[in-house]
Amino acid sequence: MLNIVLFGPPGAGKGTQSSKLVDKYNLIHLSTGDIFRYNIKNETDLGVLARFYIDKGNLVPDKVTIDMLQAEVKKNPNAKGFIFDGFPRTIPQAEALDVLMTELGTKVDLMLSLDAPEDELVERLLLRGKDSGRADDSNEEVIRNRIGVYNDQTAVAASYYDNQNKYFPINGVGSIDDIFEQLCSVIDKFN
């Protein structure tokens, strides 16, 4: 199996690159943000709960997020591997992912981290908000809060993988294809 954590602040390009990576490497894409939005749209209990946090740009509590992610992974017993997009966002989530992977007889192979300057992130998200209808992309204050949450609560998760020599930062500014090539060249060393 090949299990990749795609990391980075909101607007860094994780979703865009994930869809290219799943095609190339035949992986299952698990985006916790997408799963939450699906639940919000369908007005499930999980969606109602998650919306309370997401609309403000805060993190959904770890227990809720971890339980959901575990269930999604277990729905794919024949997967060749996973791209985790937007998960883990905290150290407890990273630890829970390790436990889950060990249970399944596998592991996280690497964390690929995309980054871009804050003003560029805000600009990209406001642009995305115009088409996507995502409430959390339409309000600059919510966007800046999400970036703040990333810096304060999420960025530390990188050190968790760095300590295991699994952390690979990649510049998220450039053409989509150039960034994709850089991601692939790291992945291909593991394949």
Is 37 a residue of the active site? no
As measured in angstroms, the least distance from the Cβ of 140 to ligand ADP is: 14
Q: Which of 51, 89, 124, 166 is catalytic?
A: 89
How many angstroms separate the CA atoms of 126 and 147, rounded?
A: 13
As measured in angstroms, the least distance from the Cβ of 139 to ligand ADP is: 12
Residue 7 near residue 87 (C-beta atoms within 8 A) = no
Say whether residue 182 binds ligand ADP (CB under 6 A).
no
Residues 123-142 that bind ligand ADP (CB under 6 A): 136
Order of strands across the sheet that contains 167-171: 28-31, 81-85, 2-7, 110-115, 167-171
Q: Which residue has the tokens 């500014």?
A: 173
SS (H, E, C) 26-66: CCEEEEHHHHHHHHHHCCCHHHHHHHHHHCCCCCCCHHHHH
Q: Which of 20, 56, 128, 144 is catalytic?
A: 128
Is 41 a residue of the active site? no
Is 89 a residue of the active site? yes
Structure tokens given for 99: 């436990």
Is 144 a residue of the active site? no
CB of 76 or CB of 185, closer to ligand ADP: 76
Residues 6-35 that bind ligand ADP (CB under 6 A): 10-11, 32-33
Among 17, 93, 113, 182, binds ligand ADP (CB under 6 A): 93
How many angstroms separate the CA atoms of 27 and 49, rounded?
A: 29
Q: Which of 14, 37, 51, 124 is catalytic?
A: 14
Which of the residues are catalytic? Answer: 14, 89, 128, 134, 146
